[in-house]
Amino acid sequence: MNRRSIFQFAAVAACALSVSMVRGAPSSIRMVTNTADAGPGSLREAIVWADIHPGTVIRFKIPSETAAGRGSLPIIKPLSPLPIISGARTVIDGTAPATAGPVKRITPGVVINGAQIAPKACGLHLEAAQCVIKGLVINGFSGSGIELFGPHTSENRVEGCFIGTDPTGDRGDGNRSHGIDIALGANHNAIGGTAPGAGNVVSGNGDRGVKLFGAGADDNVVEGNIIGANAAGDAAVMNGKNGVDIDGGAKNNIIGGAAPGARNIISGNGERGVLIASPGTNSNSVAGNFIGTNAAGTAAIPNHAYGIDIEGMSQLNTIGGATPGARNLISGNTQAGVKIYGFETMFNEITGNYIGTDVSGTRPLGNGDNGVDIAGGAGRNTVGGSQPGEANRIAFNGADGMRVYDAGTKDNTLEGNDVYANARLGIEWADGAADRNSHLNNHFAGPFLTRARTSTRPTAAPHNKRAHREH
């Protein structure tokens, strides 16, 4: 059984345990019946109960006359920070009642708004295992929307929530810090999921959309979400900085995946779509996502820097994969599609992606700068490969298809890629990089082409030919 299967089995087992406790012990259900800050029937009182009664399921049945404001959902406005969620297997389920017709992507039914709380307060703070937070709108907090902190905070799920938007998911009503913050060793948690309605919208926040930070923040899965766009995935609702930020030594995290429904839409963010940075931030996977485009993969919703940025000695990360399901679409961003930067940023693999095209791989949806940019002394990274499915398609970008530059940038492998119709060169070696990488090109300053043919597709510059193989 692989790591993903083990994690999914644990998550399903946790859910089954919660359900069985509810069926066998009705007292484990706690109803929130009003929007008051405290007292009987309040959310605060329900969390306090759950912290001393593991397995409590908190549900909401607030009379319609108390549901006022945007989206006609009940709005809970705490006057002070809510209690830490410390009871194992707690479920907070604000999902709206089911409606006729097809299953909606997300159906949140309750708003938790932090406008009346003092600075640096988060929405929900979780320090427990096997909990579920679902069906909530969490906005207006001066801190993060949801925090998962500590090494015992594991096997939790956050699903079906709007974090940082209004109840419609169409405009920002952001938390001032991150949408979701996973840190201090929190591990094996799931943000979103592949089932209908499991994905979250994490948009409109002041800082990162989803942040995974620090040693021990490992083996978390972020899948099926919209991060930086509206609930329909067709317009930006910007997070102020990066859409997904993996930093500080976090390892083995999975962003997206090859399975149906695992795709994240990571678009419209104020800086990078995905940042992977710092020593020890190793062996993370980014696969199957649309980064810089709408949910259909047909139009740009740019991240306002790089699509994916790997830097600061981060190593052994994988972007894409050899199967169609693992392919990332990295297009429409204002700067390079993928940037790999810095000394000892090594052994990263970029395989099987579309970089600068639309979802079909044939129409232009270029990034504003290079398709792939390797610089600052980065070494021993691989773009493409010789095995079936490993080639990247890199086309229609605003500068070079691939650019490798700066003295000290050495031992990188560019192999087997489909590079054409970029505004400048297909591949450019510059600023001393050619000499240091030339052993991979039979000592040619540029790539050695074993086969090439002209393309009838429109090109941004006449000197770009469609290169099938580079060695």
Residue 430: pLDDT band with limits 50, 70, 90: confident
pTM score above 0.95: no
d(CA 322, CA 306): 23
Mean pLDDT is lowest, of 201-215, 391-405, 453-467, for: 453-467
SS3 content of the chain, % helix, strand, coil (to 5): 10, 30, 60
Average of per-residue pLDDT across 354-380: 98
The average confidence (pLDDT) of the chain is 87
> Is residue 96 domain-resident?
yes
414-424 tens-digit pLDDT: 999 999 999 99
> Is residue 225 domain-resident?
no
> Is residue 235 domain-resident?
no
Average of per-residue pLDDT across 61-72: 66
| CA dist list (Å): 291 to 38, 297, 440 | 42, 9, 30
The pLDDT value given to residue 341:
98
Give me the DSSP letters along 228-248.
SB-TTSSSB---SS-SEEEET
The pLDDT value given to residue 320:
98
Task: Name the DSSP letter for residue 64.
Answer: G
Q: Are residues 325 and 178 in the same domain?
A: no
Q: Are residues 420 and 318 in the same domain?
A: yes
Residue closest to 108 by CA, chosen among 75, 149, 68, 150: 75
Q: Are residues 444 and 401 in the same domain?
A: yes
Task: Name the DSSP letter for residue 346.
Answer: B
**Residue 64 above 80 pLDDT?**
no
Q: Are residues 185 and 300 in the same domain?
A: no
Q: Are residues 188 and 245 in the same domain?
A: no
**Residue 461 above 90 pLDDT?**
no
Q: Are residues 414 and 296 in the same domain?
A: yes
> Is residue 222 domain-resident?
no
Tell me, what amino acid is at 466?
Answer: R
Q: Are residues 279 and 404 in the same domain?
A: yes
Q: Are residues 354 and 285 in the same domain?
A: yes
Average of per-residue pLDDT across 326-354: 98
228-281 tens-digit pLDDT: 999 999 999 999 999 999 999 999 999 999 999 999 999 999 999 999 999 999
> How many domains is the chain built from?
2
> Is residue 220 domain-resident?
no
Average of per-residue pLDDT across 351-372: 98
143-169 tens-digit pLDDT: 999 999 999 999 999 999 999 999 999
271-288 tens-digit pLDDT: 999 999 999 999 999 999
384-413 tens-digit pLDDT: 999 999 999 999 999 999 999 998 999 999
Q: Are residues 8 and 78 in the same domain?
A: yes
Domain range enclosing 103 = 1-194+205-215
Q: Are residues 393 and 465 in the same domain?
A: yes
> Is residue 234 domain-resident?
no
Residue closest to 136 by CA, chosen among 118, 158, 161: 161
Q: Are residues 105 and 248 in the same domain?
A: no
76-118 tens-digit pLDDT: 999 999 999 999 999 999 998 765 455 555 689 999 999 999 7
- Residues 6+ positions from 6 with CB-CB distance below 8 Å: none
d(CA 157, CA 154): 9
> Is residue 465 domain-resident?
yes
Average of per-residue pLDDT across 275-304: 98
> Is residue 232 domain-resident?
no
Q: Are residues 189 and 53 in the same domain?
A: yes
